[in-house]
Structure 1
């Protein structure tokens, strides 16, 4: 396979790739390979020329000393061509801006999981072992680079055949147990590429979730949650909502029974899609809106470590629900107008985001709540402070009371 034919659609300068390969060969220390999404998408474009995926990140794996390799690159290319180089010697990784192209470099490594869902133990190793630690066969391929411009495809798990079949297949039987966040990643790829999860992989997801092989269970203290059931799940969900067609991704997760990774309520939530579409229109973070449907949204937000402000919204949402049930829905609220709703909501100091979350839950009184969120709360006095002072008001409490009264009069006229 010619490297140029495989990668030309990615807008990667072929002479740059060749130069990198040449520096690796000069060190006689190990192979240099392009891995991950760039290889997958390049091969996918060859299989189906109608597919033109977005340009992925450029991830290279090097079998050898990353510090030595980066020193070689700096000597060869010089400071004009290498605009940026950040070496993380402890982790054997580097971030490089070469000819204005961002490149990620990593030493080949092997990962082992001492406990399921925990962070793995990492040792430097071979390219083959580096591929063995990846999630799906279509991501476990490498183009081993040669300075002569040719490339050798390393495909130990049949990833190319799975690309042809439009199928996502886990590398081994313990993939989900080792890292359950791979399930969310699978839904992301399925939505983006139009792939399906292989039959055996679906069975692995469902059987693993049924067995729940992890020492931590939903309801246990959140400060003991392992990374792949906590922060790594959150990061994958953020990518899902930010970068992918999220309705399709969530549909895959539900069909695999995988939303129970977060909460069983979400797996069975009949309002899931209406709530998220509403949140999208009201510009509420979709992950926060998703969590709001959990049996214990506060605990799930803490487990995933979403931003503190959003955790506060979910805490306030629980109080808002109780306020609606006890102080609003037990009254003749259907007769309330803009003035009564606005005064009631503002006396309690409910934040607009919390009201928006309640609207998205399709509470029985969602229509007046939506009017408050969209119109009534923005009502202002029909006269300005300057105009009142021209009438003889002095700065102070009486001026504020007059402005407030004018606003209430404006609300009374609103529908």
Structure 2
């Protein structure tokens, strides 16, 4: 990652997918000689780190983003409020075409008010220095790196630096976005970021986008690591007390080769909240994580290796595989209604803490079948009738 702007631009360009390079060349030619087209943000950052970016963000100066999107001949949507457009590539990926703009925040935490600007203006409005690098693409298909705000030095130092003193006051969601990046890329917080953390916390409840960023955190490669970043920065209160160790425990399972879907992370987060339904609604998690959590906390059998089993091992370390209907039939319970009665009896014993292992359940079932068991505290029925 050493060299002049031209060499670094060529290095980043080489790490793009060939089909993406071809598409960007075509887009530049369609924009015309009076326009500037630049790849910006995370794609440039990741390409300079030697990764092949999948997500592309493009800034357009001197051309209408919607008209340019239409000229590609691909499916597109126009976002009139900001003068932007989204193009769907043939492989299904989406590319944002953003009109170069300046922004102001009349109300901290609210939506910014855009105004037309230059490519340099657009870079200066961004969140962190290493996200404000650009790769302008010239008509002759020459590329060079544009570093308007010192982002390259941040990338060398692997540090996360806000672009101005009121960055997190204007948009507190940048704090969570920064933690996501730091956890994913192994970045450290610049002192200026740490100085602004109290500003972000003071505005958190007035920044709806922050909740969306917390939801996205659960989709990171290692959500527990990203959450730990928030805690290290003094912002652990954005998550329920006790949530971070649970998320990190799932990270460890994932690092050991177990598949941990985002819904399992979401359910673990809900498990730490005193008001899980309210948290799920605030983050827009839908109903599935809560349903998964309920199954994990229940006595219903869970398939080994399933999200339910994974969460049960995390949240109920003393849990064990309960006897199933097939098990009780093998132990002498006649098929039919008697199976449900026997399972209900065992479930009541589990809830009362009178059985703590499959072996104890088998012994309790034997006593139940011979009429020697005491009724559990909830008064479940006695032994089933014989055939």
Confirm or deny a common fold (TM above 0.5): yes
Aligned residue pairs: how many?
329
Distance 1:259 1:291, change over 3 A: farther
How far apart, CA to CA, are the structure 1 residues paired with 2:247 and 2:86? Answer: 39
Residue 48 (structure 1) aligns with: none
Matched, 1:258 2:255: no
Matched, 1:8 2:14: yes
Displacement of 1:204 after TM fit? 1.9
Kindly indicate whether the alpha-carbon contact (under 8 Å) linking 1:111 and 1:123 is maintained by their aligned counterparts in 2. yes
Distance 1:359 1:112, change over 3 A: same
Matched, 1:213 2:202: yes
For normalisation by structure 1, the TM-score amounts to 0.66
Kindly indicate whether the alpha-carbon contact (under 8 Å) linking 2:100 and 2:117 is maintained by their aligned counterparts in 1. yes
Secondary structure in structure 1 of the residue aligned to 2:98: strand
For normalisation by structure 2, the TM-score amounts to 0.70
Displacement of 1:101 after TM fit? 8.0
Matched, 1:303 2:294: no
Secondary structure in structure 2 of the residue aligned to 1:191: helix
Distance 1:143 1:255, change over 3 A: same
Moved more, 111-120 or 88-97: 88-97
Which of residues 68, 87, 90 is equivalent to 1:96? 87
Kindly indicate whether the alpha-carbon contact (under 8 Å) linking 2:325 and 2:343 is maintained by their aligned counterparts in 1. no
Displacement of 1:35 after TM fit? 0.6
Matched, 1:227 2:208: yes
Aligned residue runs from structure 1 range 177-188, under 5 A:
177-188=169-180
Displacement of 1:271 after TM fit? 6.0
Which of residues 41, 60, 63 is equivalent to 1:62? 60
Kindly indicate whether the alpha-carbon contact (under 8 Å) linking 1:18 and 1:149 is maintained by their aligned counterparts in 2. yes
Residue 41 (structure 2) aligns with: 36
Cα deviation digits, residues 10-45 of structure 1 (max 9, x gap):
22344443332222234x2x3111111111122233
Matched, 1:360 2:314: yes
Distance 1:239 1:298, change over 3 A: same
Kindly indicate whether the alpha-carbon contact (under 8 Å) linking 2:128 and 2:161 is maintained by their aligned counterparts in 1. yes
Distance 1:168 1:110, change over 3 A: same
How far apart, CA to CA, are the structure 1 residues paired with 2:90 and 2:253? Answer: 44
The higher relative CO (CA closer than 8 Å, separation ≥ 6) is in 1
Structure 1: runs of 5 or more not aligned: 46-52, 75-81, 217-224, 321-341, 347-351, 389-398
Distance 1:275 1:166, change over 3 A: closer
Distance 1:141 1:414, change over 3 A: farther
Structure 2: runs of 5 or more not aligned: 1-5, 301-305, 347-357, 365-387
Displacement of 1:228 after TM fit? 2.7
Displacement of 1:309 after TM fit? 4.1
Which of residues 20, 30, 34 is equivalent to 1:23? 30
Distance 1:262 1:148, change over 3 A: same
Aligned residue runs from structure 1 range 246-285, under 5 A:
246-263=223-240, 265-266=241-242, 273-274=248-249, 285=264
Matched, 1:287 2:266: yes
